[in-house]
Amino acid sequence: MDTAPMLAKAVPTVPEPDSVRGGLRYEPKWDGFRGIVTVDGDDVEIGSRGAKPLTRYFPELVEAFRGRLGGRDHPVVLDGEVVLRSGGPGAEHLDWNALSQRIHPAESRIAKLSRETPAQFVAFDLLAVDGEDLTGRPFDERRDRLEQLGRDLSDPLFVTRTTLDVDLAREWFTTFEGAGLDGVVAKPRARPYEPGRRTMLKVKHHRTADVVAIGYRIHKSGHGVGSLLVGLYDSDGELRQVGGVSAFSDRRRVELVEELEPVVVTDADGRPVTGDGERSRFSSGRDTSFVRLEPTLVLEVRYDQMEGDRFRHTVQFERWRPDRDPESCGYDQLDVPVAWDLRAVLE
């Protein structure tokens, strides 16, 4: 079954169950790689939300699916999330950095990481089983069938928890963040599976922080600011790069070059000083150099969560803060969620 995943649109708060005809069912929002998994006999395919298949990167999951669901007369098709957990007993959490390291071109590296940092799969929908295409059935029915199938699953394969209680969903939104989860998803109970459509509703964590502008990269077009690099001061007074701001309009990108010109660091000949940004396998072959800025400008940004000492995703520009002292922009201003054990979420 070649199926595009059903998508979600963002809403500001966890919606009331009667806000959608037929009611809503709530689930934790997992932070990993979306995957449509097809188990057909002994063949296992993990398709991503994009065009790149994930199968080769997670051989331990392929083996788990083959062992738990293989050998059937008809294919099983699951929708879910590939995640990776780390931390000791009582302090497990989702580990995006370790998960992202799993996408590697070398087979030897893939095999090594599959043993050292094995992934898990959390199923949250069932699209086909026992020769039946379930995509036209209501979600409540698909969920019942998924729970039946889930009796055959065990670590590293899980079925996500769910609730009809909006108050419990709001509690999950707050508490589960401490285990690295991304928010809450609300799904219409009576709707069929609608590939490519934003039928579900998602509520994610959004916060603001004051950060220091430390540099910018030129846009790929060669004109204007592509991304603005930002930093925070640590407890030792060192300014650390924590992420970037992008998604500027064409006009705004050009305007920013002029606005930032007074604080561009220059050499003895008056030429801008550049630095080389951090590289990863995602930036391989890409120019990561940036124009350095004097750390004098403060801006407020919106972010969802932290991953270690950096912003988890690209942040959004909110406003300039000329009233703020750059040295006051430290990690201590960040809203840190209370720790929560991921194992308690999975079980």
Give per-residue pLDDT as tens, 138-159: 999 999 999 999 999 999 999 9
d(CA 124, CA 319): 38
pTM of the model as a whole: 0.74
In the chain the domains, ranked by start, together with CATH numbers, are 7-205 (3.30.470.30), 207-333 (2.40.50.140)
Measured CA to CA, the distance from residue 23 to residue 189 in angstroms comes to 6
Instruction: Report the distance separating Cα 105 and Cα 144, nearest Å.
Output: 39
Question: How confident is the model at residue 281, as a pLDDT?
Answer: 41
Angle among Cα 43, 123, 147 to the nearest 5 degrees reads: 105
pLDDT 10s digits, 184-197: 999 999 999 999 89
The structure tokens listed for 85 are: 């957990």
Structure tokens at 291: 């124009």
Torsion of CA 253, 256, 261, 264, to 10 degrees: -80
> What pLDDT was estimated at residue 10?
85
Give the catalytic positions in this structure.
29
- Residue 14 near residue 201, CB atoms below 8 Å: no
Residue position matching structure tokens 């394969």: 157
pLDDT of 276: 72
Distance CA 208, CA 320 (A): 12
In DSSP terms, which residues pair with 109 in a beta bridge? none
Q: How many C-alpha atoms does 20 have within 13 Å on its Cβ side?
A: 18
Return the pLDDT at 1: 65
> What pairs with residue 233 in β-bridges?
239, 330
- Please report the pLDDT score of residue 279 as a whole number: 43
* pLDDT score of 286: 55
Q: Which residues contact 17 (CB under 8 A, 6 or more apart)?
A: 23, 24, 164, 166
pLDDT under 50 in the chain at which residues?
279-285
